[in-house]
Structure 1
């Protein structure tokens, strides 16, 4: 059934579904932001109200002034250092490893890759105890290394990079070898520039995954000053939750969301372009 030229009834249904889905995602965020600007009296005394009666900055001033028991800005800086370092190393490791698994030929290459891929399907919680034992043995407990190093060669990212590189014509490599280029020169000069789309995708996923990681930092951090923001938010539930300081608790969560929101705002164009995994390959 066509209502107007070029616009069918099914499109109305699709748009309505997307609008409803958008509201389900956006309304809780709007309510959380508005709650962070409510006074404690309004939070406790009033029921559900999408916008506060009066916007106040008391919650954020309390959050930012607490530099002893809940140093939120220090936690944010810790998370920035950890997430950025982890992301840069992930991009380096998976690009090199993906090149090896897709372009270099050695005995058992595919068997090793698919074995590691199969092992990766086990839930991460299975590895918590042995992973902690390794981190403790290396002396990395309460250090940024405990967050940066584990997961550098994640098989999800490696699988995407390998599949992308398998789509790059082998003729590029052969032409470079005729000119005397070795594997490292081919990787740096030819393959790496073509990998930009998929590396952007993997970099975004790695940054967000590292930033939002909750269970692992709670396990490996006990020093308040060295915690990332996710572990700190759990601590805030004891500091602010016991006194029903909901505004401060929500405000802290909003501050923790800002870096990832800014990342997607600035990288949205590159992310959308990178969804086409072959967009970096010209005919």
Structure 2
């Protein structure tokens, strides 16, 4: 029988603690995977149902089968050839790309100014920006529509690309994101640039922007997704079918007499394709931008 010594007793207690911590860690991981699995199913199952319904003939729409018994591509042919979906695709693409480029430039520039410069009223102005994030979009619809119907320069912005895009050319959330990130840009680099004779805008363009590409990339992706899926404002800002964006155009498939779910799901499936491409290609920027922004100032 081994003698009981302080070292043996300490070793046994350490081993028992390690076993206990291992069991606790295993339970924590199992619970985490369970929660993640449930969350994934709530997102993936509706997506699969949408794709499945897009291949169903009309007679199978109300049946309980999850997958079509007789898969068909007739829905895609009908939506592409017999509706204005290609035109709506183009409108959504123009608005989303224009808004994204505008946000990338103006939000990053404003965020750089708020992060690196001191000027009168800086704090109150920034607080106003943050306060605007608390205002629901629905409360801004009427002011936006009045502005687009009677713009200061005359004419009208209704049924124009600018009329659809102008509420999103600058965003308070983007300015806040870029300010948080650009606070981490070393002041020493900016001072060195000033000594070398670089202009203030040159410091932004040649120093701050290259160092902030992860945050700018994440901002662009989220902005593109938001503008591509926007529905309420494009619905208000357009009255002609040829100016509809994709979400607004797809709702035209429904009528008081019937709701062709197969065609609606087909249009929705086609609308997801650009979003999947953008997310797959720029996924690294989403993760890196959010992670690094959370570590800044």
Greater Rg over alpha carbons, structure: 2
Task: Assess, with a 3 A threshold, how the Cα gap between structure 1 residues 244 and 117 changes in structure 2: closer, same or farther.
Answer: closer
Q: C-alpha distance in 1, partners of 2:206/2:240?
A: 44
Report the aligned-residue RMSD. Answer: 2.1
Match of 1:129 in 2: 142
Deviations 1:221-256 (A, max 9, x none): 111011100111222222xx7344221121111111
Match of 2:281 in 1: 266
Match of 1:37 in 2: 55
Match of 1:150 in 2: 167
Which of 83, 90, 95 is the equivalent residue of 1:82?
A: 95
Q: C-alpha distance in 2, partners of 1:246/1:103?
A: 52
Aligned-pair CA distance for 1:20: 1.5
Within the alignment, does 1:242 sit opposite 2:257 as a pair? yes
Match of 1:251 in 2: 266
Task: Assess, with a 3 A threshold, how the Cα gap between structure 1 residues 4 and 55 changes in structure 2: closer, same or farther.
Answer: farther
On the 8 A contact 2:132/2:172 being kept in 1, the answer is no
Q: C-alpha distance in 2, partners of 1:220/1:51?
A: 38
| Residues 19-98 of structure 1 mapped to structure 2, 5 A cutoff | 19-44=37-62, 46-47=63-64, 49-66=65-82, 70-98=83-111
Q: What's the TM-score, normalizing by structure 2?
A: 0.86
Q: C-alpha distance in 1, partners of 2:102/2:125?
A: 22
On the 8 A contact 1:37/1:247 being kept in 2, the answer is yes
Q: C-alpha distance in 2, partners of 1:228/1:244?
A: 20
Q: C-alpha distance in 2, partners of 1:200/1:279?
A: 15
Deviations 1:72-100 (A, max 9, x none): 11101110111011101110111111122
Q: What's the TM-score, normalizing by structure 1?
A: 0.90
Which of 91, 112, 116 is the equivalent residue of 1:99?
A: 112
Q: Select between 256-265 and 83-92 the one with higher mean Cα deviation.
A: 256-265
On the 8 A contact 1:196/1:280 being kept in 2, the answer is no
Secondary structure of the corresponding residue to residue 34 of structure 2: helix
Q: C-alpha distance in 2, partners of 1:6/1:190?
A: 47
Task: Assess, with a 3 A threshold, how the Cα gap between structure 1 residues 42 and 3 changes in structure 2: closer, same or farther.
Answer: farther
Secondary structure of the corresponding residue to residue 127 of structure 2: helix
> Gaps spanning 5+ residues in structure 2: where?
1-18
